[in-house]
Structure 1
């Protein structure tokens, strides 16, 4: 699976799992306002998260592949659908479903990647 897709899906899962930098200090350095979170990690990857109502806008830069990406997520109760695109033309779709403290994640991309993984607030992804 492409790095940008992994970063986008994992970034979204981190939001769902409610991890903060205080709990995971080596993950990324972040700046935050009321609706915007902007982060950069020690490898030069960067992303921002903007929330407007039940819609989440993710944008980022993948340092290794030197590509930009954007993802939009819309929440409907316990179900969140997302779509994304990268500067090299790769596109992806998927959904997250919350069941208690667990999140079930499914996705597929135009690059041929697809998968399913589960995240828990207690055990991670």
Structure 2
């Protein structure tokens, strides 16, 4: 799957975790208002996060793929469902379920990618 979905699912963790080689990733430059966060990273990718109640709207631009994408996350208790679409026609759906300090994540895309992975605050993903 293209990196837009992975970035939108794991963006918070990527900003705070070290990379697989032990280097700290370059942080994005962000501007914030009451409900909106807009960021651009060192690679030229851009995204914004808008929160309205229990719904989070993500929009972005992936520089390498030269495509725009949008994703909507809706939270219901410990479950968060998300759907997204990109300018090249790829669409994806998935969910994240919190169980204590662990999250169970599953997604699939129209591009043929799918995955299920578990993340923990103590051990990572």
TM-score by shorter chain over 0.5: yes
Match runs of 1:1-125 below 5 Å: 1-11=1-11, 14=12, 26-125=26-125
> More relative contact order in 1 or in 2 (CA 8 Å, sep 6+)?
1
Number of equivalenced pairs: 118
After superposing on structure 2, the runs of 4+ consecutive aligned residues of structure 1 that deviate more than 6 Å are: none
Q: Tell me, in whole angstroms, the C-alpha distance in 2 between the residues paired with 1:32 and 1:102.
A: 28
- Distance across 1 between alignment mates of 2:46 and 2:123: 25
- The Cα of 1:33 is off from its aligned counterpart by 1.6
* RMSD of aligned Cα (Å): 1.8
The unaligned stretches of length 5 or more in structure 2 are: 17-23
Give how far 1:25 is off.
6.9
1:39 and 1:64 map into 2 onto residues whose CA distance is 16
Larger Rg: 2
Sort the Cα spacing of 1:121 and 1:34 in 2 relative to 1 into closer, same or farther, 3 A.
farther
Distance 2:87 2:7 in 1: 15
TM-score by length of 2: 0.86
Secondary structure of the 1:116 match is strand
Q: Give how far 1:118 is off.
A: 1.7
Q: CA deviation at 1:111?
A: 0.1
